């Protein structure tokens, strides 16, 4: 359906909701002006250029030519550090404040949910503004000054080995601790309602919590400008921007009787 206002049966459901699981993808970041590096609205119209970017952001390239990986990471990080949370990020903070239980799973690596103030979240792919040492336990943040000075691979301030971006690169495993939290939050004690937005959910670990909720008869909501493979699996598929629809969802949750 084309979005105008929330369907009355959805509003009625939200007014009785006490726990919510939310999943966000690149579309939510795009509303803050962050381009994705491939796919619709991606950084590169040219598909071969997109493929080269994905290759640069892969585990084998990091091992063989870390400067090449860092070249692309620095570009993404510079774009990220200038971005600001949008009404979708802010509405999620309001939802968390209203509900007894709230969990956010995000694929986005821009840190905008954290910057907006979301507390209980799993940034499954990491954060492009964080770094870690490939040898010692050092973990740090990239500042504007770091990014301006960055050419090639930054060095660890503790042991001088090469730092790596604190993101999951193509070909790398997801971090075990985050997978465990995802299971605890979405599988072991599933939220009453699951909301997914701004993603075509191509990764199974992103789609599965929604499908699981739908199969269990829990209310499921999708917010996306375009239809996705999940659109006919969820109870409400709303066509539109998260920045326009999330504030209305937050308002309905806050009107809880
Ligand atoms: Zn180190």
- Summarize pLDDT for 61-71 with one digit per residue, the tens: 999 999 999 99
In 3-state terms, what secondary structure has residue 169? coil
Q: Is residue 40 part of a domain?
A: no
Q: Is residue 163 part of a domain?
A: yes
Is the per-residue pLDDT at 177 higher than 90? yes
The set of residues, in sequence order, having a beta carbon less than 8 Å from that of 232 and lying 6+ positions away, is none
Does residue 183 carry a catalytic annotation?
Answer: no
CA angle 175, 176, 182 (to 5 degrees): 95
202 phi/psi in degrees, rounded to 5: -75, -20
The set of residues, in sequence order, having a beta carbon less than 8 Å from that of 215 and lying 6+ positions away, is none
Ligand 1 centroid to Cα of residue 158, in Å, is 5
The set of residues, in sequence order, having a beta carbon less than 8 Å from that of 199 and lying 6+ positions away, is 23, 24, 25, 26, 27, 107, 206, 224, 228
**Structural domains of the chain, count:** 2
Ligand 1 centroid to Cα of residue 97, in Å, is 38
What's the CATH code of the domain at 151?
3.30.1600.10
Ligand 1 centroid to Cα of residue 139, in Å, is 8
Q: Is residue 41 part of a domain?
A: no
In whole angstroms, give the CA distance from residue 249 to residue 5: 10
What range does the domain containing 199 cover?
8-33+85-125+172-254
In whole angstroms, give the CA distance from residue 71 to residue 88: 30
Q: Check whether residue 109 and residue 221 sit in a common domain.
A: yes
Q: Which residues pair with 21 in a beta bridge?
A: 103, 194
Q: Check whether residue 74 and residue 91 sit in a common domain.
A: no
pLDDT tens digits, residue range 183-239? 999 999 999 999 999 998 778 889 999 999 999 999 999 999 999 999 999 999 999
pTM value? 0.92
Q: Is residue 12 part of a domain?
A: yes
pLDDT at 202: 79
Identify the active-site residue in 89, 113, 125, 166.
125
The set of residues, in sequence order, having a beta carbon less than 8 Å from that of 216 and lying 6+ positions away, is 190
**Once rounded to an integer, what is the mean pLDDT over residues 118-130?**
96
The set of residues, in sequence order, having a beta carbon less than 8 Å from that of 180 and lying 6+ positions away, is none
Ligand 1 centroid to Cα of residue 120, in Å, is 29
Q: How is 200-220 classified by DSSP, letter by letter? A: ---SHHHHHHHHHHHHTT--E
Q: Is residue 243 part of a domain?
A: yes
């Amino acid at each position: 359906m084309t979005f105008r206002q929330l369907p009355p049966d959805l509003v009625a459901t939200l007014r009785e909701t006490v726990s919510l699981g939310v999943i966000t993808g690149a579309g939510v970041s795009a509303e803050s002006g962050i381009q994705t590096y491939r796919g619709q609205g991606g950084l590169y119209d040219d598909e071969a250029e997109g493929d080269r970017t994905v290759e640069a952001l892969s585990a084998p390239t990091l091992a063989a030519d870390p400067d090449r990986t860092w070249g692309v990471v620095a570009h993404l990080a510079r774009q990220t550090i200038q971005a600001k949370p949008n009404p979708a990020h802010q509405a999620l903070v309001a939802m968390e404040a209203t509900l007894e239980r709230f969990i956010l799973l995000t694929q986005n690596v821009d840190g905008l949910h954290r910057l907006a103030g979301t507390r209980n979240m799993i940034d499954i792919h990491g954060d492009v503004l964080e770094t870690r040492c490939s040898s010692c336990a050092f973990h740090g943040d990239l500042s504007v000054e770091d990014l301006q000075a960055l050419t090639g691979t930054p060095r660890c301030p503790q042991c001088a080995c090469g730092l790596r971006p604190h993101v999951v690169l193509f070909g790398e495993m997801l971090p075990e601790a985050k997978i465990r939290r995802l299971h605890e939050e979405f599988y072991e004690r599933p939220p009453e309602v699951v909301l997914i937005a701004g993603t075509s959910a191509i990764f199974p670990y992103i789609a599965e919590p929604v499908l699981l909720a739908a199969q269990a008869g829990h209310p499921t909501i999708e917010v996306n400008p375009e239809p996705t493979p999940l659109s006919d699996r969820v109870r409400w598929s709303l066509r539109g921007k998260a920045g326009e629809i999330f504030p209305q969802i937050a308002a309905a949750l806050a009107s809880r009787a």
